[in-house]
Chains A and B, each alone.
Chain A
Amino acid sequence: MAKKTGQTIDFASIKAKMSDPYKKPLQVVDETGKIVNQELFDSFSDEELVDFMKKMVWERALHEQTMNFSRQGRLGFYAPTFGEEASEMGSVSAFTDKDWLFPAYRDLPQLIQHGASVTQGFLWSKGNAVGDDYGDTRAWFPQIIIGAQYVEAAGAALGLKKNGEKDAVAFTYTGDGGTSQGDFYEGINFASSFQAPAVFMVQNNGWAISVPRKTQTAAETLAQKGVASGVPGVQVDGMDVLAVYIATKEAREFAAAGNGPALVETLTYRFGAHSSAGDDPSRYRTKEEEKPWFDADPLIRMRKVLTDKGLWSQEQEDKLVEEYKNDFKASMKEAENTPTQSVVDMLKTTFEEPTPQVKADIARFEAKESK
């Protein structure tokens, strides 16, 4: 044993500096609607700015209408997206239909933007697997097992690389809680080891049901979790749709160019409950904590910016919301008119060639269900 210990390596200093490169979240418009990065702001056309706002209004309307349907008992499981519109619409807008999406259960709006229909989203919630039949759309189903989508996205990214597809990536989402899973690390590390084109999104909304972000890890940022596997990460203001879009688009360009995966942590907030069934945030968080996040609402700042530029009005927004909600009501009708799945349907899709035991079950349920 050396006589002098504790003075050779300055662990305290290493720890203190670990997060340094990751702590300046990219921002274009702040929560008051002030443009804080004019150059980046000017890179968007008026049309693009309006389009981002429309997408966020669409997502919020979808949330509100879904909650109504949920209260009416017309849906099953739903994970509210209220508050995460900038994070979700800003990021998904950076991808193309050549990209493979591996969403989790709070990512229905991105799944729909990527090619699934609203009706399919409702069918998934109602528990009808027809909701997962996306045809040729490059999308996986909303993952329930937190983290599984990360290792699968790594595989799809490697598959795209092996297929020799240019300008195509796999992208996936998880939350702050998801970054604690072993599969989170295995996913980013596999993609990095193979230098596969993957973009890993972390929507840090502060809460994993009732467990706060600080309990997940002592790391100051989640973006820095990429470092250990050689994956560059960045933090971005997740309530700023323009910042989210830019960071995600550049992460995608980096990955698509053959540089390996990239990670984007969006700092956002779950305005509502974890799910539509039973969760009550007042049990674990305070109004004082919620207030600044509600003030940072991604729609408020974008509404101000667009109104100042003469590109938006409340009247226009109200009209849009009504249109969207009418569309959602039509989609719900369509979902409700979709034949309910039967046990026979399930059995027939268990194997390509039903096994003798499955065949016997099919016969049993055909008799039962035809009654």
Chain B
Amino acid sequence: MAKLTYIKAITDGLDVVLGEDPKTLIFGEDVGKNGGVFRTTEGLQDKYGEDRVFDTPLAESGILGLSIGLAATGWRPIPEIQFMGFTFEAVDSIGGQMARNRFRFSGKRAMPITIRTPFGGGTHTAEMHADNLENYFVGTPGLRVVTPSNPYDAKGMIISAVENNDPVLFMENLKLYRSMKDEIPEGKYTVPLDTAKVVKEGTDLTIVAYSAEVNEALKTAEKLEKENISVEVIDLRSLSPIDTDTIFKSVEKTHKVVVVQEAQKMAGVGAQVASEIAEHAIMNLDAPIGRVAAPDSVYPWAQVENDWLPNADDIEEKAREILNY
């Protein structure tokens, strides 16, 4: 066991899959000698060679199109899109191509591609570097969208993602990269790609969140705990599919729910969670479903970023509103 940051936990997971499966390949912009602009792939080219870990020309559609052709010829690609905002350049490769190919080939051919991409606010990046674009991708049949909220899950989930035989969009939170550490077991372990996790048990209110907002939700839960309000916090981990069973079980217990996301509010993950609860578990509710999300503007530039991002105070305000309903 070693204490590792979120980013080093991912590096460790990539090391495991490269070591286990000689058909795995890591490629993208700056991932080779430079080890990635955040150093996520640091040391991997030295260890596994330039054939397995390599830089590409600067073109996102090319990177993901390359992944499809490599998968066709027997490889297991792990491309990196340097920032999630850049996936706009490659939407066809994801939604038009790799996610549909299992169907196109009647289930006979697989696209075992894991697209790693950093996202998330609060680090004052340039424009288009922090956007939460999951809302664009969760409605893509054939594509899994996952995002870990802590280093332990990050390593276990990257290994599961690479081993999965369908395309996985693996979202890595920029703010979490170096802000938290966990005890990480050495070698291989996996964390399932399709189950949410109850990260804190409680009986009065359920907060459903994912990625960095899980930490904000936990802050709120701790604060309310001092007033003897017991809050259950669920980390979705998988944004598509959504593990509704874990959510329904919690709502059955607490009867109140607040759904939190860092992304803008319109038609996304939080809306889907709320609608699943409304459709299947509304009789268990004692109050309306509360939602916390970013305003429906474009992702803000750095100076207003911290005012725009939903934080523990916003979650607390909404939680009290729902608790006092």
Q: Which residues of A contact B (CB under 8 A)?
A: 100, 102, 129-130, 132-135, 140-141, 145, 148, 150-160, 162-163, 170, 182-183, 186-187, 189-190, 193, 345-346, 348-352, 355-358
Contact = CB atoms under 8 A, between A and B. Distances in A.
B114 to A, nearest CB: 14
13 contacts: A129-B106, A145-B96, A148-B65, A152-B68, A154-B69, A155-B72, A159-B74, A162-B51, A186-B62, A350-B102, A350-B142, A352-B166, A356-B244
Interface in B45-93: 51, 56-57, 59, 61-62, 64-75, 92-93
B64 to A, nearest CB: 8
A100 to B, nearest CB: 7
Interface string B89-112: 000110011000011111110100
Given A132-B105, A159-B70, A189 B96 contact: no
A152 B72 contact: yes
Interface residues of B, number: 44
Interface in B266-316: none
Given A148-B96, A160-B73, A186 B105 contact: no
A190 B66 contact: yes
Contacts of B187: none
A345 B106 CA distance: 8
A141 B104 contact: yes
B103 A156 contact: no
B86 to A, nearest CB: 13
B102 A156 contact: no
B104 A132 contact: yes
Contacts, number: 136
Judged by DSSP, the binding face of A is helix
Given A151-B65, A351-B102, A356 B245 contact: yes
B141 interface: yes
Contacts of A156: 69-70, 72-73
A349 B107 contact: yes
A187 B68 CA distance: 12
Interface of B: 25, 51, 56-57, 59, 61-62, 64-75, 92-93, 96-97, 102-108, 110, 141-142, 144, 164-166, 194, 240-245
Contacts of B165: 352
B92 A145 contact: yes
A134 B106 CA distance: 10
B232 to A, nearest CB: 21
A129 B245 contact: no
A186 B142 contact: no
A355 B239 CA distance: 12
Given A129-B105, A349-B107, A158 B57 contact: no
Given A148-B97, A190-B62, 7 more contacts: A102-B69, A129-B106, A148-B93, A151-B64, A152-B66, A186-B57, A186-B59
Contacts of B102: 349-352
A159 B104 contact: no
Given A159-B73, A357-B241, A152 B65 contact: yes
